[in-house]
A = this chain, B = another copy of it.
């Protein structure tokens, strides 16, 4: 099996690569070739060095998809994207990568299949940004996609294309709508959602963190480990059971910031919680108020997708995967 990861240098891409390297049969067959692609140089896993090619490429460049797809990968993880803030700030860049790049990939697969039968599985990283306020308290699987960002628009369009190409048998696609990933590893960043991770990740290593919203803010979470698990599960699932509605809201944990803090207290004690400094920021409070807080992800759950059910699990996953099991 030839596996290709587009967006392999991103957070989910790197963790997916590591998961495959440590469990080479996890995708349901022997991997004979692994191709890692990203705008930034992807890291080749030592365990799969002999079968891995890593390259930098930009999907918005029309010559890229034909070269990649000429190698006929059997399984394609399409995680490459311009992120939300940048897609909103740079209209052309967002549409160019997130829409045109995705469509170029899909069209190239179609043209490759016209030469000689070729129906790869395509797993696409979508987002709950396809939804826009106002929301019901719990968003059902059949709620409409009325995004309020260009990023969400581009993801929703890619979902529609993925479903149509899959319906026509051009490829076997599945769109995976990720919750907000928490605890995000790495340094604190300026993303409006950053604090959800910062208030756990920093205190766990003895560092202070700022909480800019009320602890009664509710949000929708899954760990990086679960995010990788969604894609691994999607790689082996029987897509006949899914039918033509190929885009699935993933399960997640609906939790208050207060739930995060109490879980941190149970795992790391009052000393860790004391490192959280409350500094209300009306701008961030307003942005966060526009985000979905809870989904009833019935279809994905019925298909066997799994996420954490409490915040201690999310924190434990971070401690095991990022801190070698040790906290400050």
Residues of A within 8 A of B (CB): 91, 110, 132, 142-148, 150, 153, 156-157, 160-161, 163-164, 167-168, 244-245
Would B145 and A153 count as touching, CB distance under 8 A? no
CB-nearest residue of chain B relative to A146?
B245
Known: A157-B157, A160-B157, A161-B157. A168 touches B150 (CB 8 A): yes
Q: Which of B110, B145, B153, B157 contacts A144 (CB 8 A)?
A: B145
Q: Which of B160, B163, B168, B244 contacts A91 (CB 8 A)?
A: B168
Q: Which of B146, B147, B163, B245 contacts A153 (CB 8 A)?
A: B163
Would A146 and B244 count as touching, CB distance under 8 A? yes
CB distance from A166 to the nearest CB of B (A): 11
Give 15 new A-B contacts, CB below 8 A, not counting A145-B145, A153-B160, A153-B161.
A91-B168, A132-B244, A132-B245, A142-B144, A145-B160, A146-B163, A146-B245, A147-B160, A147-B164, A148-B167, A150-B164, A150-B168, A153-B163, A157-B160, A157-B161
CB-nearest residue of chain B relative to A130?
B160
Q: Which residues of B contact A143 (CB under 8 A)?
A: 142, 144
Q: Which residues of B contact A163 (CB under 8 A)?
A: 146-147, 153
Known: A142-B143, A143-B142, A168-B91. A244 touches B157 (CB 8 A): no
Sample 14 A-B pairs with CB under 8 A, ordered by A number: A91-B168, A132-B244, A142-B143, A142-B144, A144-B144, A144-B145, A146-B163, A147-B164, A150-B164, A153-B160, A156-B160, A157-B157, A157-B160, A157-B161
Which of A110, A148, A161, A164 has the most chain B CB within a 10 Å cutoff?
A164
Q: Which residues of B contact A132 (CB under 8 A)?
A: 244-245
Which 3 pairs of residues, A with B, have the shortest CB-CB distance?
A: A153-B164, A144-B144, A146-B245
Q: Whole-angstrom distance between the alpha carbons of A146 and B159 in the complex? A: 10
Q: Whole-angstrom distance between the alpha carbons of A244 and B147 in the complex? A: 9
Q: Which residues of B contact A147 (CB under 8 A)?
A: 160, 163-164
